[in-house]
Chain A
Amino acid sequence: MFESIQQIVFGRLTFEDFIHEPIMAGAGIGMVGALFAVIIGLTFFKKWKWLWHNWITALDPKKIGIMYLIVAAIMLFRGLADALLLRAQQATNGSAELLNSDHFQQIFSAHGSIMIFFVGMGVIFGIFNLIVPSQIGSRDVAFPFLNSVSFWLFAVGMILINMPMVVGEFSNAGWLAYPPLSGLEYNPGVGVDYWIWALQISGIGSLLSGINFFTTIIKMRAPGMTLMKMPIFTWSVLMSTSLIMFAFPILTVTLGLLALDRTLGMHFFTTMAGGNPMMYINLIWAWGHPEVYILVLPAFGIFSEVVATFSKKRIFGYTSMVIALVAIAFLSFTVWLHHFFTMGAGADVNTLFGIMTMVIAIPTGVKVFNWIFTMYRGRVDFKTPMLWFMGFIVTFTLGGLAGVMMSVPAVDFQFHNSLFLVAHFHTMIVGGVLFGAFAGFAYWFPKFTGFMLNERLGRYAFWFWIVGFLLAFVPLYILGFMGATRRLDHYDPSLGWQGLFIVAGIGVMLICVGVFFQLLQIVYSVIKRKENPAGSDPWDARTLEWATNSPPAEYVFATIPTVTTRDAFWEMKQTKKKPTEPEYEDIWLPKNSGAGIIIGLFVLIFSGAIVWHMWWLAVLGLLGAIVTTIIKLSDDEPDYKLTAAKIAKHELKLKLKLQEKTV
């Protein structure tokens, strides 16, 4: 009797689920402790109201962007800590007895999922929010409230993926959870369910964001900005969001079907009753390969802006850059099978996908040459963003060549699931996406804070990163050749791998030093902010986002600029048109709304309840989310008016402040 009531109320949750082994318990307690410290701090300094009004309920994309970046940064630390544990395990060959096999598996699954979904996606959406509207001469995104919902769904996913540290366990089935290992038969616990719902919820957030930014770019460009006058970064976002719209529904379906298998006992991917596990692998990579380009195209965009600005030249081969972006976006849907050449699809199919994979290297190569030609005969200024670019172009080319090697099916049979593969995709994602994000961060930081980052510390961070990065991953290429497969928690000492694993471990430690310098750089720059004001255009840049104040006012542009050429802001500076006394107009901006976080909380209740099979709570969460949505959408006055007089006053104040500084 008691047990059945307990089962109805708590599902499969019991007290034992809160008990963890020391390392995980430590991390869990640390996490909860940090949360408490933040809550106490907020209460002590009476900052709750400030947090609620300025951040949590904000619909301003500049603020949502910063929140994305904060979440992504915290997740980067989590992912890095996971990487350290994995490397410690492999460098000591398990002799330190840090982790048992099961915990090791949970950690590599968490590391991959977190780095892709919550670091990679987090930074690109953060940068989309911060840059895209102002770069196209717009004040806001197309759907400001939807933007807030997207962010909170992303945050809910983040909470779900970290919850296993406190209650339950995480998936041990790798970052893509291949069945039948991730099926009910071999994984009856809550781990895979946590994985499914964390990705499902944040994935839906990503899809909504993709629709939002696509519509923004199509519909909200400044007058005169035709498609072929858009900055390359905006083009890259347009292509990346197109990929999101095509790829993420497939992920939603794939995860949904796996959830149905696990929760309702269906047979999509089981080994019984006609289920087809290989179908999962096709479906997940039909999303997974475009996902790689969803992440890396915006990084290409950032580098295009950085190279042009710091070479004091317009980007070389604008049209070919755009064509290359479009070609990559299209081709990225034609190569997914190269992730499982060994599945046995037959020589013809493998050949086709092998050739398509080689073809995709062509537009990527076009981009690399365009960047180099942009630098050629330019007045190149090696500031931190440019250093990240130099690091990127070397590592990315090396990693790309490794990729082309693996595109030959016969060769891939050797490399499949080896550390060579692991080294390859880390070179692409760390060297491409992460370096791109760092370059973008260093480049746009002054725009959003109004002060410069310290150059010297930035340079230290870069050098520790790049040396650490090469030390961490070059050994993995070699180990791959020697036959080391991925995800090994121990190996026979006679194989002679340990030395290289130790080198890789040292590399990760150097990366940690790099991250330390990045943190130090931010803290130091914040402290010294008075001495390093940025002004509105510190780099002598080329695109419209630099035509705003630093930091930009809430309404970004007092008057919407008219665009006549590419590199619109550069053109404005060259022609030195005296700005006529601008005519301000009344504008409408979205009011803050708490509905985003409330919907997020209900979705968290819903998905958390499904993980633990508390059905009544899941229904409650779902109802709550629906009712909140209806109430919010019934609000007929979502915007407020900012009068022309107020804008004029604010602009005048800024101008006076600027004059004061220069005097």
Chain B
Amino acid sequence: MTRAEEEVVIHERKTLGFWIYLMTDCVLFAALFATFAVLKNATAGAHGGPELFDLPFVLIETIILLTSSFTIGMALLGSVRGYKKQTFIWLFVTFALGIVFLSMELYEFMVLISEGYGPQRSAFLSSYFTLVATHGIHIAIGLLWMAVVIVRLWRHNFKKTDINRLALLGLFWHFLDIIWIFIFSFVYLIGGMA
């Protein structure tokens, strides 16, 4: 096997490893969802989801995140075809959308906390904050990773390894999107119904 052939095999290996990692992350979120389901009604006399959630606001968050999943796909297509400018533009758009999503989430948290509904208030709020923030932390890690990928693509002029890594980042980003869809459906929609 030549080195070039071997590098293809190594990339396949990494892709499988990354998929498996994503599945373990899925189990992690499953445990958090289960926790939320158990504690959903444990509001300890305080407000629950229907009174606290601002659904139109969360809908905008959702649309932003889903759009970013589309834009990172465009960036990936561009990088594979060698359209450098397109790749950067779409990556910057994705990054910006990620930042906006994260800021909106933090704002939502701050409003809740300032109204006295912090994670210490009730078991329901503990599980809500933990589940949503765990997703948020993943998004933050994704953004950090994206920044590194952007810098490396720029510096090393679209090296094969960096394009491969962008593909893995794409997987990660789509995965977070799917998790968010579950959060939106189970936490906000079902949890927000009176």
Q: Which residues of A contact B (CB under 8 A)?
A: 142-143, 207, 211-212, 214-215, 218-220, 245-246, 248-250, 252-254, 256-257, 260-261, 264-268, 270, 272-276, 279, 283, 286, 585-586, 588, 626, 630, 634, 636
Contacts and interface: CB of A to CB of B under 8 A. Distances in A.
B184 to A, nearest CB: 20
Contacts of B129: 266
B190 interface: no
B150 to A, nearest CB: 13
A260 B27 CA distance: 19
19 contacts: A142-B13, A250-B27, A253-B35, A256-B130, A264-B119, A265-B120, A266-B120, A267-B42, A267-B122, A268-B35, A268-B130, A270-B123, A273-B42, A274-B122, A274-B124, A275-B42, A276-B39, A276-B123, A279-B35
A253 B9 CA distance: 33
B123 A275 contact: yes
Interface stretch (B16-24, B60-68, B92-100, B101-109): B16-24
Contacts of A272: 44
Contacts of B20: 211, 214-215, 245
B117 to A, nearest CB: 12
A272 B123 CA distance: 8
Given A249-B24, A266-B130, A626 B144 contact: yes
Give the interface centre of A273, A588, A634 by most chain B CB atoms within 10 Å: A273
Interface string B148-169: 1000100010010100000000
Contact of A268 (B21, B123, B156): B123
A248 to B, nearest CB: 7
Given A268-B127, A630-B148, 4 more contacts: A249-B27, A252-B28, A260-B119, A279-B38
A215 B25 contact: no
Given A268-B39, A273-B44, A211 B21 contact: yes
A518 to B, nearest CB: 36
A275 B123 CA distance: 5
A211 B35 contact: no
A245 B23 contact: yes
Nearest to B162: A636
B123 A212 contact: no
B6 interface: yes
B120 A264 contact: yes
Contacts of A286: 31
A215 B152 contact: no
Nearest to B151: A634
B58 to A, nearest CB: 22
Contacts of A249: 24-25, 27-28, 31
B87 interface: no
Given A211-B24, A257-B35, A273-B44, A267 B123 contact: yes
A254 B32 CA distance: 9
Contacts of A634: 148, 152
B194 interface: no
Interface string B118-137: 01111110110110000000
A254 B123 CA distance: 15
Q: How large is the interface on B (under 10, 10 to 19, 20 to 34, 35 or more residues)?
A: 35 or more
A257 B21 CA distance: 21
Contacts of A266: 119-120, 126, 129-130
A257 B27 contact: no
Given A266-B119, A267-B122, A215 B24 contact: no
Given A212-B17, A257-B130, A274 B42 contact: yes
Contacts of B17: 142-143, 211-212, 215
B19 to A, nearest CB: 9
B54 interface: no
Contact of A260 (B12, B39, B126): B126
Nearest to B43: A274
B1 interface: yes
Nearest to B123: A274
Contacts of A248: 24
Nearest to A242: B20
Which A-B residue pairs are the 5 nearest by beta carbons? Answer: A274-B42, A274-B123, A266-B126, A249-B28, A253-B31
A266 B1 CA distance: 55
Nearest to B156: A636
Contacts of A270: 123
B13 A245 contact: no
Give the interface centre of B12, B23, B121, B126 by most chain A CB atoms within 10 Å: B126
A586 B148 CA distance: 32
B81 interface: no
A550 B41 CA distance: 62
A172 B129 CA distance: 29
B47 to A, nearest CB: 13
A268 B126 contact: yes
B122 A219 contact: no
Nearest to A287: B31
Contacts of B12: 219
A472 B61 CA distance: 61
A588 B123 contact: no
Contacts of B42: 267, 273-276
Contacts of B1: 585
A264 B118 CA distance: 11
Give the interface centre of B14, B42, B161 by most chain A CB atoms within 10 Å: B42
Contact of B31 (A212, A220, A250): A250
Give the interface centre of A220, A256, A266, A636 by most chain B CB atoms within 10 Å: A266
Contacts of A219: 9, 12-13, 16
B27 A246 contact: yes
A586 B2 CA distance: 8
A585 B1 CA distance: 8
Given A207-B24, A219-B12, A273 B122 contact: yes
A236 to B, nearest CB: 18
Contact of A636 (B21, B31, B38, B161): B161
A245 B144 CA distance: 25
Contacts of B6: 588
Nearest to B38: A279
A214 B121 CA distance: 42
A274 B42 CA distance: 5
B35 A273 contact: no
Nearest to A280: B35
Contacts of A630: 148
